[in-house]
Amino acid sequence: MSTAVAPTAPARKGKAAALGWLISIAFNVVAPIMIYNQLHDHGYSESTAILASGLGPLVDTVIYLAWHRRIDEFAVVSLVFVALSLVVALVGPTDPKMLLAKDSFVSGLLGVLYLASLAAPKPIMFYFGRKFATDGTPEMISWWNSMWQYEGFRKVQRNLTLVWGVAFVLEAALRIVFVYTLSHGTVVTINNILPYVVIGGLVYWTMTYAKRASARGRAAAEAAAAAAA
């Protein structure tokens, strides 16, 4: 049973939050890209390079577990992404167009994972929000978990998950269309740019949507308090 007014978030510990973000980005984004590129450029097979790139998220999981005594959901999803990439690399076809199209399969499968999480007790963006909207301290984690009792908060998390899932699926479909309508060189360029454009757009939209939803929530709480008074 939810209360009328959501609790105010505890003060964040800026240095701890910044350090957590840096570690997470370094091991889950930067490290996999660097490891993959270095091994691939030095003649290692694609599957070996992809498998080794999973060391970054794996190390982050160990650090986060030792630091916070719980699993980092963002690192887990990064490992799932690496696993999907490895499966696609191992079973991928040899036809040039299909080789280009298979890059979109991982994005599509990731989108399906987001959408499937809507059937879980809590969608995937709830855990991502807990990762990036808090500093990882017990107080902030407890506050974030307590927000689930509010219908507006639950709606926001589900809407975020829905939009991210649909965006990844649409990106995958669009890249497949490009493969069969554009030249190989053009598709290679698009494949290297489009994912960053989509992610950047999603992050910007998420921040804007979350701020507006938070403002609406505060306004509704103030109106309810005024009416009660």
Amino acid letter at 62? V
How far is residue 23's CA from residue 149's CA, in Å, rounded to a whole number? 30
pLDDT of 1: 42
Q: What is the pLDDT along the chain (229 residues), one digit of tens a residue?
A: 444 556 665 555 555 555 666 776 777 677 777 887 888 788 887 677 767 877 777 777 777 666 666 666 666 776 776 777 677 666 655 566 676 677 678 788 889 989 999 999 999 999 888 877 777 777 888 889 999 998 889 999 999 999 999 999 999 999 889 888 888 778 777 877 888 788 889 989 998 998 888 888 777 667 766 777 6
**Residue 10 burial by CB count (10 A; 0-12/13-18/19+): exposed, middle or buried?**
middle
**Within-domain flag for 6:** no
Q: Could you tell me if 139 and 65 lie in one domain? A: no
Q: Are residues 124 and 211 in the same domain?
A: yes
At which of 57, 72, 91 does a domain end?
91
pLDDT of residue 69: 66
pTM of the model as a whole: 0.70
Domain boundary among 48, 65, 91: 91
Q: Looking at the structure, do residues 139 and 178 belong to the same domain, yes or no?
A: yes
Burial class (CB in 10 A: 0-12, 13-18, 19+), 12: middle
Examine the fold and report which residue of 91, 116, 131 is the final residue of a domain before the chain moves on: 91
Q: What is the pLDDT of residue 223?
A: 72
Residues 40 and 128 in one domain: no
| DSSP states of 71-133 | --HHHHHHHHHHHHHHHHHHH---SHHHHHHHHHHHHHHHHHHHHHGGGSSS-HHHHHHHHHS
pLDDT of residue 3: 47
* Pairwise CA distance, residues 156 & 223, whole Å: 20
How many angstroms separate the Cα of 159 from the Cα of each of 68, 134, 143, 199, 209?
A: 28, 20, 20, 16, 10
Q: In terms of domains, do 174 and 208 share one?
A: yes
Q: Give yes or no: residues 185 and 158 share one domain.
A: yes
Length of the chain: 229
